[in-house]
Amino acid sequence: MTAEGHLFFSIACAVFAKNAELTPVLAQGDWWHIVPAAVLTCLLPDIDHPKSFLGQRIPWISRPVARMFGHRGFTHSLLAVFAGLTLFYLKIPDSWLVPADAIQGMVLGYLSHILADMLTPAGVPLLWPCRWRFRLPVVTTQKGNHPERMVCMAFFILALWMPQNVQKNDAVRWSSEAISLLQHRFERFIDNQR
């Protein structure tokens, strides 16, 4: 997917997550924290590709990461998300007061990139270092990015339309409770490590 597609898809994911009330923090969160935070991190997984939008701007980071892991390797995995969260919680002092909704927005942006790349034929190694590639090839590579734009636009429209039909959905409520429980346990784990 292109940088434009990832940016648009991250906004659609942020709108979807907020409207679906995926977590209690996102449900209560501020749009001006969630959406910019998602946009801020949505291109970060492509730091492993020197010709990507970020790779061209910070080659001193991109080239070593590309040599170590290759494109769509570690940075496109759940392990990278977990490692990033762990480092963030260990290194950010409580006095910085980074809002919880902004943190979840950043995670959402990063995960939106991985999800968008799963929609391409190449897929992503979610369980890296296992080489299994997870894919649902909806967006095929062609000249131009018209199919990509169509998928992003359709998801964005769904995200805007969804709240009238899904707010009382038990599956959404269950996922919200499960994510909240996992977040609480993760925060307890990090507090114990300090």
**pLDDT at position 39:** 94
Q: What is the distance between the alpha carbons of residues 114 and 119, in angstroms, rounded to a whole number?
A: 9
Q: Which of 22, 5, 2, 4 is nearest to 14 (CA)?
A: 22
**pLDDT at position 91:** 66
Q: What is the distance between the alpha carbons of residues 178 and 138, in angstroms, rounded to a whole number?
A: 28
Position 6 pLDDT exceeds 70: yes
Residue 43 one-letter amino acid: L
| Alpha helices in the chain, H assignment, sequence order | 3-19, 24-28, 31-41, 53-57, 59-69, 78-91, 100-118, 146-161, 163-166, 170-193
Q: What is the distance between the alpha carbons of residues 101 and 20, in angstroms, rounded to a whole number?
A: 14
Across the strands, what pairs with 115?
A: none
Say how far residue 32 (Cα) sits from the centre of its chain.
17
Is the preceding omega at residue 129 within 30 degrees of 0, hence cis?
A: yes
Q: How many CB atoms lie within 10 A of CB 9?
A: 27
Give residue 37's pLDDT band: very low, low, confident or very high (50, 70, 90): very high
Q: How many CB atoms lie within 10 A of CB 6?
A: 25
pLDDT digits (tens, 9 = 90+) for 161-190: 765 444 454 545 455 565 666 666 767 766
Q: What is the distance between the alpha carbons of residues 40 and 46, in angstroms, rounded to a whole number?
A: 13
Burial tier of 139 (Cβ tally within 10 Å: 0-12, 13-18, 19+): buried
pLDDT digits (tens, 9 = 90+) for 87-130: 777 766 655 677 888 988 999 999 999 999 998 888 899 888 88
Position 144 pLDDT exceeds 80: no
**pLDDT at position 164:** 45
pLDDT digits (tens, 9 = 90+) for 38-70: 999 999 999 999 999 988 999 999 899 999 988
Position 5 pLDDT exceeds 90: no
Q: What is the distance between the alpha carbons of residues 31 and 35, in angstroms, rounded to a whole number?
A: 6
pLDDT digits (tens, 9 = 90+) for 182-194: 666 767 766 776 6
Global pTM? Answer: 0.77
